[in-house]
Structure 1
Amino acid sequence: MFLERFIQYIKFEKRYSPHTVTAYRADLEQFMAFLTAGTPADHPSEITHHDIRNWIVSLMDDKLAARSVNRKVATLRKYFRFLLQEGVIEINPAAKVNTPKIPKTLPVVVEDVKLTQMLDSDDIFTIDFKGTRDKLVIELLFGTGMRLAELLGIKEADINAHEQTIKVLGKRNKERIIPVNKELSLLLKEYITLKKNENFDNKSLRLIVTDKGADAYPKLIYLIVQKYLSYISTQSKKSPHVLRHTFATTLLNNGADLNSIKELLGHANLSATQIYTHNSVERLKSIYKLAHPKA
């Protein structure tokens, strides 16, 4: 009962995305199942910080990554904060629970020069609908830094060919306008023409569609990205987010300021964007070691 009230709250009042709502529900149901396996609580007020700590230990024993554990604990904190506001409980048992430290890792990127050469090549992408669509997917992710969910959500009506911009719906249903370069604008026009010529039975309003004209889905985009990044990179991680990281790092390396990158990425605060400065520092270190006699 309380869980469903919380789900309705984040879905309709907070307007979280369907993906986020699903993740919150899964986390809470997993925690409730853990409690039921032990000594079940009849009421949320009976849940203690010891229960949450035991759950964390259980998750760590199952080799769950620290980042994933912290996300689940964040879900609990938000849930119990909601119950506190509703007067269901008097103390938030998750408030003072310590979470595992997350090891610092640099964003994974690919070499922008190799990526640009691949996109400019005449031998990689076929000139039919499928090849043009695949190229557009890579160009959009690398050329705008948009998220996977944002890419899948783009409609043809969101493209302003005259202004050379695309409107995307980001996290928390926040809209933002992303500029596109002239080359990408021409590719968009070419793709839309090819898409219309396919005469799909399914007239999807989405920009990116499958070979049969249905709305594109996450797995399809992953497969496209993995296929083409394999031409230029041997690293194991080849995902849409790698192209987002590459977009941000490339801008920073070429003199863009952090606030501008923050706006383009749709970050809520600057701290999320600052992680890309570490990549630039590491790049400078490598250049120094190669170029300076005292390095």
Structure 2
Amino acid sequence: MLNTFWKYLEFEKRYSRHTLASYQNDINQFVRFLESQYQVHNLLKAEHRHIRAWIVALMQEQINPKSINRKIISLRTFYKFAISREGIKQNPTQKIKALKTSKELPQFVQEKEMDNLLSIIEFADDFEGSRDALIMELLYGTGIRLSELLGLKYSDFNMQAKTIRVLGKGNKERIIPFHNKILSRLNSYISHKNKTFSGNGNIALIVSNNGNEAYPMMINRITKKYLNQVTTISKTSPHILRHTFATHLLNKGADLNAVKDLLGHSSLAATQVYTHNSLDKLKKVFDQAHPKA
């Protein structure tokens, strides 16, 4: 049953490897809980009380509420699949409610700090340096997700139109414009890549030092390495550059719907979180400039 579900997520829902791994981890964790605590060895035999007990156990372990909610979503998706494919009549997740979570504003890198990173810091004039520079430019200059970066191919770039074709969540395609600095970084990287890995058949755009496909941990290390040189924010993941991209656009007066489309959000609500950061800046401008403030 689980193997069929994994294939459904991978081939029908077109989930990324990272998302698929998260679902597998969540559900396998619940399977182990069922077996150890209730000697239930079949997911289809799980009851509402079992799931509720698992959530309580996770809370006692002080697991982040957002992580617990993700695990709940994983189970809900599985049981909805089981109802449609296996014909089970009751969904044990039906009365399970998501935990309340505090609304944290997304962290982002200040504009001056990003200018320092991309203008002052010198990237080595070799394969590794040109690759790292391109990664930082792409993440900040287009706001793409980590999974989208890893899925890029050279053929996704339209050099004349200066656009990138990106395959996002749910296999949805979108077109994102890019600026001249990215074009320059891309040309430099491709030149170094071809010299370093002559005849390499890997079609992935971003590759590791040995020519294999890049992987999430590698990109995380690269963003941490360079962001730590210019900022003191606690989070230095690739996603921070996505937050930075959106916040800086809105600070410069970009239309919220346009930012939504650039980010590939399915609803405006997901994009509106960035308006809080922009609103803080507007309030400061108002306090400093308005004669009655």
> Do the structures match in fold with TM over 0.5?
yes
Distance 1:163 1:58, change over 3 A: same
Residue segments in structure 2 that go unaligned for 5+ positions in a row: none
Residue of structure 2 in register with 1:264 after alignment: 262
How is 1:141-152 mapped onto 2 (pairs within 5 angstroms)?
Answer: 141-152=139-150
Return the offset for 1:288: 4.3
The answer as to 2:229 corresponding to 1:240 is no
Distance 1:95 1:294, change over 3 A: farther
What letter matches 2:142 in structure 1?
T
What letter matches 2:236 in structure 1?
K
Q: Distance in 1 between matches of 2:45 and 2:229?
A: 56
Please say which of residues 26-35 and 143-152 is displaced more in the overlay.
Answer: 26-35
The partner residue of 2:206 within 208, 222, 235 is: 208
Distance 1:193 1:80, change over 3 A: same
Return the offset for 1:37: 1.1
What letter matches 1:169 in structure 2?
L
What letter matches 2:94 in structure 1?
A
Residue of structure 1 in register with 2:249 after alignment: 251
How is 1:162-241 mapped onto 2 (pairs within 5 angstroms)?
Answer: 162-200=160-198, 202-241=200-239
The partner residue of 2:124 within 126, 140, 143 is: 126
SS at match of 1:197: helix
Distance 1:210 1:4, change over 3 A: closer
Q: Distance in 1 between matches of 2:213 and 2:36?
A: 40
SS at match of 1:274: helix
Distance 1:128 1:17, change over 3 A: closer
Residue segments in structure 1 that go unaligned for 5+ positions in a row: none
Q: Distance in 1 between matches of 2:10 and 2:116?
A: 43
**TM-score (normalizing by structure 2):** 0.92
Offset from partner CA, 1:45-72 (integer Å, 9 cap, x none): 6422111111000111111100010010
Asked whether the equivalents of residues 142 and 243 of structure 1 are also in contact (C-alpha less than 8 Å), the reply is yes
Return the offset for 1:87: 5.1
SS at match of 2:230: coil
Residue of structure 2 in register with 1:92 after alignment: 91
SS at match of 1:16: coil
Asked whether the equivalents of residues 107 and 276 of structure 1 are also in contact (C-alpha less than 8 Å), the reply is yes
Asked whether the equivalents of residues 202 and 214 of structure 1 are also in contact (C-alpha less than 8 Å), the reply is no
What letter matches 2:179 in structure 1?
N
Q: Distance in 2 between matches of 1:42 and 1:184?
A: 52
How is 1:25-40 mapped onto 2 (pairs within 5 angstroms)?
Answer: 25-40=24-39
Q: Distance in 1 between matches of 2:163 and 2:42?
A: 51
Distance 1:189 1:101, change over 3 A: same
How is 1:32-111 mapped onto 2 (pairs within 5 angstroms)?
Answer: 32-41=31-40, 44=43, 46-86=45-85, 88-111=87-110
Please say which of residues 138-147 and 176-185 is displaced more in the overlay.
Answer: 176-185
Residue of structure 2 in register with 1:8 after alignment: 7
What letter matches 1:26 in structure 2?
N
Q: Distance in 1 between matches of 2:11 and 2:140?
A: 33
Offset from partner CA, 1:181-213 (integer Å, 9 cap, x none): 122212212221222122446442121122232
Asked whether the equivalents of residues 116 and 230 of structure 2 are also in contact (C-alpha less than 8 Å), the reply is no
Return the offset for 1:226: 1.1
Please say which of residues 90-99 and 139-148 is displaced more in the overlay.
Answer: 90-99
Return the offset for 1:265: 0.8
Asked whether the equivalents of residues 16 and 147 of structure 2 are also in contact (C-alpha less than 8 Å), the reply is no
Residue of structure 2 in register with 1:161 after alignment: 159
Distance 1:290 1:56, change over 3 A: farther
Residue of structure 2 in register with 1:22 after alignment: 21
What letter matches 1:105 in structure 2?
E
**TM-score (normalizing by structure 1):** 0.91
SS at match of 1:166: strand
Return the offset for 1:289: 4.9
Return the offset for 1:217: 1.7
